[in-house]
Structure 1
C-alpha cells in the first residue's frame, strides 16, 4: 500500500471514530419518556447543595429587619427558608435607611415573588406606622382574577396578627359589596387594572395617603393591552409613594413602561444573565415530534399511563378545552377544566378544587398559565404550542414551584414546528427530545371517529374546537414557525375525529393572518410611542 493510500486510510478511521463519538453523545443527550426522570449531574448538584446549606437563608436570619408579627404569619404558612428573590428583595429594601426605594424585580416563575412583595408591603406600612384609620395604604395590581384571589389568600395569612384589613376588587363579583368594603376602609386593596381604575375614578374611598403600589406580572399586563389603564391609574395615585414592579419576562414595551412608571432610578433585583436558564432548576423539560393526526392518540396514551399524577394540559383555545374535556370524560377520564369563557365562580371553584387535589387532570388555556400557584403538579403538557417563548416559560412555571421542588414539562410539536426549538434556545430555554415507541401508543382513531359520527353534541363541539385551532394558528405571530399554510387540513380534521376533511379557506386565513400581523405591529408601535411621549413630557416639565 502506498504512503498516500495509508494516509487516506488513517484519516477514514479517525473520521469513523469521530462520527461514532458524536452519535454516542447525541444518544446520551436524549432521554426516554418515563413516568419519572433520573436526576442528572448528581455530583454537581450535591456540591452546589452543600455550598448553599452553608449559608443561612432562613427567615429567622432576617428577624432583625422583619417584624415579629410578620414572621409569625410566615411561619404559620409553613415557610422557613427564603427563596433567592425573597432574600434579595428583603435585604435590599429593608436594609435601606427609609425603606421607600422603588424596585424592579425580575425572577423565574415559581420563585416566590408573591410572598416577597407582600412581606415588603406589610413591612413598609409597619415602618411608616400606618394606621387603618388613614384608609388604603397599599394597592396591589394583578393581571387576572385568579391571581388576585390567590394573592388575597396569602395576604390574609400574612396579616393574621395585625389589625390591617384587605379587600379584593375583581370583575365577576358584586361591585356594591366592593364599594362597601372600600368605603369602610381597607388597608390593602388587591385587584385587576380595569376594576381598580373604575373604583379609583368612581368610588369614594380614602387612598390619598397611599404609601405603596405593587404591580405584579407587569409583563403580562403590558402584553394584554392594559397599559392605558395602568397609566391612568398612575396619574390618579399620589406621586409620593413606593412603587414595586415584579415580572418574569422582558420586552421593549416592558422596559419602556418601567422608565415611565419609575422615573427615579429604582433598585433592580434578579437581573438575569443571558446564559442562565430561564426556567427553574428542578424542572425537567422535553419535547416530542408527533404528526398532527397522531397527537390525540399520544395524549390519550400518556394520560392513561399517568393517572396517579397531577397533570395540566394546555390548549390554544377555549373551544378546544371544552371539546377535549367532553371527549376525555366519555373515554372514562376524571378531570377539570378552566378557560376564559367560564363564569368567574366556576373558574374560582375549579382553581380551589385542583389546588387541593393530590393527583388529577386539568385542561386549560393560558388563562391559568401566569401566576397561579398549584402545589405538587407533576407534569405540564403543552398539547397546542405556546404563542412565544415567554408564554412557554409561564406555562411550565406551574410546576417545580418553590425551592427544592421538582416537575416535568412536555411540549408536543408537529414536524413542521421544530424551528420553535431554536426560538426557545435563544430565550435560554433548553429542552431535550423524548423518545418513545409508537407501537406502545394506543390507536383509538376508529373509536374517536365513531364517537364524533354518532354523538351530535360532541360533533358540534369538535367542529368548534377545529375552528378554534385553525384560528389560533392563523393569529400566531411567529409566522416563521406557525404558518397556517403548512397545516395539512385533512390530517388536522382527522385529529379531531372527522373521517372527511372539514372545509377551510386557507387563502382567507392567510389574508386575515396578514391583517392581524400588521395590526399587532401597529399596536406595539403605538404603545411604544405612548410611553415615549409621556417620558418627553416629564423631561419638559423637569
Structure 2
C-alpha cells in the first residue's frame, strides 16, 4: 500500500478504504472523485460482500455510485457470456440513461457492457444488443417485462437486482411488473432497494423479496448551525386566477439560471408554457403526451442554454438530472408530501444552493403544513412581490450591468459622445438619460398588473369533508364540491390485471384530481367503470387516452348509463 493510501486511511473516508478494485479506483480518480458520500461509505462494503440492502436516501446523496460501484466490483472483467449478471430497474427512461452513463464511466477499464432498456426507443437495437451480450441491463419495468416475455432478456444468471427510486415505480403503477420481473430472477440473487421515501406498501415489497437486508437511512445533508439551508424553501399565497402573473413576477425577482415549474396536468403545462413565452420567457413544455424525440429536443435546449424554464408534469420530469438547475417551482401545492420531497431534491445538490418555491392558494394552509412536517424543514410564507419590489429589482440589475461596464476598458470610444452632450447638458442629466436607455433596453418596462395580496384563510386548518374514494362510499361520496358525477368506461379489466389503485393512480397522475374526487370503481372481467366529477370528465378522458394503464392503451369513453 502506498504512503498516500496509508494517509487516506488515517485522515478520513476515501474510496481506497472501501476495498474497491484498482480499475474502479482509477476511474474515480480520473473523474475527480476524492472521497465517498455518506451513503456510499455505508452501502458499498456490504453490497460488495453480496448482502441485500434497503436504503432510504434523497436524490443527490450519491446513491447511483453507491450501487453501481459494488455491481462492477463483483463483475468479471471482460466477460464473454451473453446473459446479464445485473439488472437495475428505474422509473424513467431519463434515469435509465443517466445510470447507464455512470456505469460506463466507472466500468470502462473492466470492459463492462451496459445496456439501457426503455420504451420510446427502437426495440430492434435493444434486441440486437442483448443478442450480442451484455453484463448490466438498466431498464424501466414495462420494457424489461416486455423483453422478458419475448424471451430476449434472460434473467437466469442475474446475481444482483437493484430497484432504484422504488417508491416512484410503485406510484407509477409498476408494482405487478416488478413482482413478475423478480419472479424471473434466481432466488439466490442479491436484492438492493433504494427509495427517497418508505411508504407502507414499499416496506411490504422489501419484506417479501429482501433477505436479512442491511438497512441504511441517509438524510439530505443539513447545513451547519448558523448557516442557511442549501435549499431555500418559500411559499407565496396567491389566488388561483393570479398565478400566471405572480409566477412571472417571482421569476423576475429570483432570476433563476434554470428552473423546473411543476404542474398537475398536461393541459396546464401547455397553457402555462404558452403564457410564459408570451411574457418573454424562454420556456419549454415536457409531459407524457410527447414523443421521446420531442423530449430529447426539449432537454437539449435546456442543457444548451437556449431555454431556461422547463414546465413539466411529475411523471415527465422523473429521473431528470439538470446540472445548472437552481430553482424548482410548484405551480400548485403537491397533493402528496412525498412528491414535494422528490421535487425539491433536484436542487441543492453537490454542495450547490437551490431554491424551492410553492404557489399556494389561501385554502391550502393545512396541506402546506403537512408538507413542511414531512420535508423536515421550514417553508417561509411570503406575499407576492409588489410592483415596487419588481422596479427595485430591475434597477438593481441595471446598476449591476452598468458597474460591470464601468469596470471594463472599452469605454474610450464613447467619450466623444459624452463630451459633446456635456457642452449642452449637465453631466448628471446625461448620466440619467444613459441609465434610462440601458434600463429600458434590458427589459425594464414596469409591470403594472395588480396582484391581490392575500393570506391563508382562517378556517383553512379544518379537516376537509370527504368526497369519495376508490371504493365508493355511496351517492354523496360521488360528488366533488356537491356537483354531479360522470361514469366512465375503461376498456380493460381483471383480465388485463387492472385494479382500482391502477385507475386512481392513472387519473390523479395525469389530471388535477385527487383520490377524494374519484367515486365508485367497478372492475369487470374485460372492462372497468369509474366515477369522476362531471366537470372533469372530458379532461380525464383526454388524459387517459394518451397514457398507459398497466402498460397498455385502453379505450376510454363515457358510459351510456349516466349516474343520477
TM-score (norm 1): 0.68
**Which of these residues, 389, 397, 411, is aligned with residue 358 of structure 2?**
411
Secondary structure of the residue that 2:88 maps to in structure 1?
strand
Q: Report the alpha carbon displacement of residue 437 of structure 1 after superposing the two structures with TM.
A: 4.2
Aligned to 1:320: 268
Q: Is residue 154 from structure 1 mapped to residue 102 from structure 2 by the alignment?
A: yes
Aligned to 1:101: 51
Q: How many matched pairs?
A: 406
Q: Which structure shows the bigger proportion of residues in helix conformation?
A: 1
Distance 1:348 1:382 in 2: 23
Q: Report the alpha carbon displacement of residue 358 of structure 1 after superposing the two structures with TM.
A: 9.6
Aligned to 1:398: 346
Distance 1:272 1:147 in 2: 21
TM-score (norm 2): 0.66
Classify 1:204/1:366 alpha carbon distance in 2 versus 1 (closer, same or farther; 3 Å).
Answer: closer
Q: Which stretches in structure 1 are left out of the alignment for 5+ residues?
A: 1-53, 447-477, 486-503, 524-542
Q: Is residue 349 from structure 1 mapped to residue 297 from structure 2 by the alignment?
A: yes
Secondary structure of the residue that 1:136 maps to in structure 2?
coil
Aligned to 1:58: 14
Aligned to 1:110: 60
Q: Report the alpha carbon displacement of residue 203 of structure 1 after superposing the two structures with TM.
A: 2.8
Secondary structure of the residue that 2:349 maps to in structure 1?
coil
Query: Which structure has the higher relative contact order (CA within 8 Å, separation 6+)?
Result: 1
Classify 1:516/1:373 alpha carbon distance in 2 versus 1 (closer, same or farther; 3 Å).
Answer: same
Classify 1:179/1:67 alpha carbon distance in 2 versus 1 (closer, same or farther; 3 Å).
Answer: same
Distance 1:369 1:183 in 2: 31
**Which of these residues, 346, 354, 374, is aligned with residue 322 of structure 2?**
374
The answer on whether the counterparts of 2:466 and 2:516 sit within 8 Å (CA) in structure 1 is no
Distance 2:108 2:287 in 1: 32
Q: Is residue 362 from structure 1 mapped to residue 338 from structure 2 by the alignment?
A: no
Classify 1:111/1:79 alpha carbon distance in 2 versus 1 (closer, same or farther; 3 Å).
Answer: same
Secondary structure of the residue that 1:507 maps to in structure 2?
coil
**Which of these residues, 459, 467, 483, is aligned with residue 507 of structure 1?**
483
Aligned to 2:88: 140
Classify 1:270/1:350 alpha carbon distance in 2 versus 1 (closer, same or farther; 3 Å).
Answer: same
Classify 1:292/1:55 alpha carbon distance in 2 versus 1 (closer, same or farther; 3 Å).
Answer: farther
Q: Is residue 516 from structure 1 mapped to residue 470 from structure 2 by the alignment?
A: no
Q: Is residue 248 from structure 1 mapped to residue 224 from structure 2 by the alignment?
A: no
Q: Report the alpha carbon displacement of residue 60 of structure 1 after superposing the two structures with TM.
A: 4.5
Aligned to 2:36: 82
Aligned to 1:176: 124
Secondary structure of the residue that 1:213 maps to in structure 2?
strand
Q: Spell out the pairing of 1:178-217 with structure 2 (5 A cutoff).
A: 178-217=126-165
Q: Is residue 231 from structure 1 mapped to residue 207 from structure 2 by the alignment?
A: no
Q: Report the alpha carbon displacement of residue 206 of structure 1 after superposing the two structures with TM.
A: 4.3
Q: Spell out the pairing of 1:481-492 with structure 2 (5 A cutoff).
A: none
Distance 1:371 1:130 in 2: 30
Deviations 1:209-245 (A, max 9, x none): 2111111111111122211111111111111111111
Secondary structure of the residue that 1:161 maps to in structure 2?
helix
Distance 1:390 1:482 in 2: 22
Distance 1:82 1:333 in 2: 39
Secondary structure of the residue that 2:24 maps to in structure 1?
helix
Q: Report the alpha carbon displacement of residue 155 of structure 1 after superposing the two structures with TM.
A: 1.7
The answer on whether the counterparts of 2:167 and 2:202 sit within 8 Å (CA) in structure 1 is yes
Query: What's the C-alpha RMSD, in Å, of the aligned pairs?
Result: 3.4
The answer on whether the counterparts of 2:246 and 2:384 sit within 8 Å (CA) in structure 1 is no
Aligned to 2:212: 265
The answer on whether the counterparts of 2:237 and 2:384 sit within 8 Å (CA) in structure 1 is no
The answer on whether the counterparts of 2:467 and 2:517 sit within 8 Å (CA) in structure 1 is no
The answer on whether the counterparts of 1:376 and 1:399 sit within 8 Å (CA) in structure 2 is no
Distance 2:520 2:12 in 1: 52
Q: Spell out the pairing of 1:270-289 with structure 2 (5 A cutoff).
A: 270=217, 281-289=229-237
Classify 1:401/1:518 alpha carbon distance in 2 versus 1 (closer, same or farther; 3 Å).
Answer: farther
Q: Report the alpha carbon displacement of residue 436 of structure 1 after superposing the two structures with TM.
A: 4.8
Q: Report the alpha carbon displacement of residue 482 of structure 1 after superposing the two structures with TM.
A: 10
Q: Spell out the pairing of 1:118-129 with structure 2 (5 A cutoff).
A: 118-126=68-76
* Deviates further, 197-206 or 138-147: 197-206
Distance 2:63 2:517 in 1: 38
Classify 1:393/1:303 alpha carbon distance in 2 versus 1 (closer, same or farther; 3 Å).
Answer: same
Distance 1:249 1:312 in 2: 21
Q: Is residue 67 from structure 1 mapped to residue 21 from structure 2 by the alignment?
A: yes
Deviations 1:240-261 (A, max 9, x none): 1111111100111111111112
The answer on whether the counterparts of 1:140 and 1:190 sit within 8 Å (CA) in structure 2 is yes
